Amino acid sequence: MGWYQWQLFAVVGFGWASDNLWPVVTSLILTPISNEFHPSHAPLLSLAQNIGLFAGAIFWGFGCDVFGRRWAFNLTLGLTAVWGMIAASAPNFAAIGSFAALWSFGVGGNLPVDSAIFLEFLPGSHQYLLTILSVDWAVAQVVANLIAWPLLGYMTCQQTDDTCTRGDNMGWRYFMVAMGGLTLVMFVLRFFCFTIYESPKYLMGKGLDEEAVRVVHEVARRNKTTSSLSIEDLKACEPEGYEYRATAGDAVKRKLEAVNFTHIRSLFATRKLAYSTGGLMFIWAFIGLGYPLYNAFLPYIQATRGVDFGDGSTYITYRNSLIIAVLGVPGALAGGALVELRNFGRKGALCVSTILTGVFLYCSTTATTSSNLLGWNCAYNFTSNVMYAVLYAFTPELFPTKDRGTGNALTATSNRIFGIMAPIIAMFANLETAAPVYTSGALFIAAGLVVLTLPFESRGKASL
């Protein structure tokens, strides 16, 4: 692990941060946007976001094998920043929904591309750093809420206002410019202050062995060491009958060849492995529906419930959102510690944190004051961050190495598809009632129970 990899670790963290920052942005602006534009179905904003995330994950995850990791690595943040700032000019609800889909298209590519390029430069001895990156995910939530508090808390319409004009509600537009500007800074740091080399694995796949060797030597130089790798070493590894294929069309063909039913069948080859794979897909699907069903509308729920409690001012709503977000950081750190506990491990940490997340949601429906609701939501955010920290580490460990990409694709697809369903359900379940909370809580508890039945525990064992 050299200096280049540590620098890469820092800039890859921008991608992890963006992956959580922008969904949080969407949830924070939902209330002022609803007050200004009075849409008949406010959850359509979240639906537009989730469709963009789904499309982005497919395009960038597939595309980085065609036009390379380097361009995708930089463009995802750049597109997100540009569309985020343009969204501040939205004249109506349809426009902000369209912009949400466009910025989410960039956001959707962050994890597939960033994790690919990071892993391809990362020594096996330091793969635990993927888990540590979840801290950036939690910190991004804090940053968004910290900026939202003064802008949305003081410069947007109150929930109880009879009329809400653009001039009285400029705070969310300033907030969009601030978030777009922050993402633009991350893009500039990546593009101008850090030289990202194309992945040697990608270059070899394109038949550019000489360029791959050059990159390896350049990374070694950046790390103040040397490498003995030569083009002859790579030629010696070529199997008999090797065919040089380096065009974009060939890259697409290789990708399609890799995505075949052989890998899927391997994940269901035995009864135990089939149950493990199916169980993980169900867990990701339930969480993919339960988390955005509540979290995407959390500020809105706080505001409407606050009105019922007599203290639903925008100041209190966004102050409370910040307090809730802060609890996510120790949650992510706690997840990293819990997975190594003896006789508890990954299964225990994931099962308990997921079930507790659902329990705390149910408890939030008993709140009779804003302070009670804040307390339960803080507990919910802490346990949900523990849950995600464990889930991101546990899932790939349960798949055999040769089928890990396919397994990750199956779970990610389950998560995104059910995420698209969340705002659709929210449109039919009144957000001013406890129905979405009950549904979300039940999904978390069900996911936690499925975790308990998984046949494998990966703590203390090498990946298959």
Burial class of 315 by CB neighbour count within 10 A (0 to 12, 13 to 18, 19+): middle
In this predicted structure, what is the pLDDT of residue 439?
A: 85
Please state the rounded mean pLDDT for residues 377-381: 92
For the segment 204-215, what is each residue's pLDDT rounded down to a tens digit? 766 777 777 887
Please state the rounded mean pLDDT for residues 14-20: 89
User: Which amino acid, one-letter code, is at 328?
Assistant: G
In this predicted structure, what is the pLDDT of residue 462?
A: 41
Prediction pTM value: 0.78
For the segment 288-313, what is each residue's pLDDT rounded down to a tens digit? 898 887 776 666 666 666 555 556 56
- State the alpha helices, DSSP H only, in 194-313: 200-205, 209-222, 231-236, 248-258, 261-267, 271-295, 298-309
pLDDT > 70: what percent of the chain? 81
In this predicted structure, what is the pLDDT of residue 133?
A: 79
pLDDT over threshold 70, residue 4: yes
Residue 55 or residue 200, greater confidence = 55
In this predicted structure, what is the pLDDT of residue 81?
A: 95
Say how far apart CA 71 and CA 68 lie, in whole Å: 6
Among the residue ranges 105-109, 117-121, 156-160, 281-285, the one predicted with the least confidence is 117-121
Q: With bands split at pLDDT 50, 70 and 90, how would you rate the model's confidence at 341?
A: confident
Say how far apart CA 267 and CA 279 lie, in whole Å: 12
Residue 247 is classified by DSSP as S
Phi-psi region of 270 (alpha: psi -120 to 50; beta: other; left: phi over 0): beta
Q: With bands split at pLDDT 50, 70 and 90, how would you rate the model's confidence at 463?
A: very low
Q: With bands split at pLDDT 50, 70 and 90, how would you rate the model's confidence at 18?
A: very high
Q: With bands split at pLDDT 50, 70 and 90, how would you rate the model's confidence at 285?
A: very high
Say how far apart CA 443 and CA 446 lie, in whole Å: 5
Among the residue ranges 52-56, 100-104, 183-187, 223-227, the one predicted with the least confidence is 223-227
Cα separations in angstroms, 372 against 52, 378, 407, 434: 35, 10, 41, 15
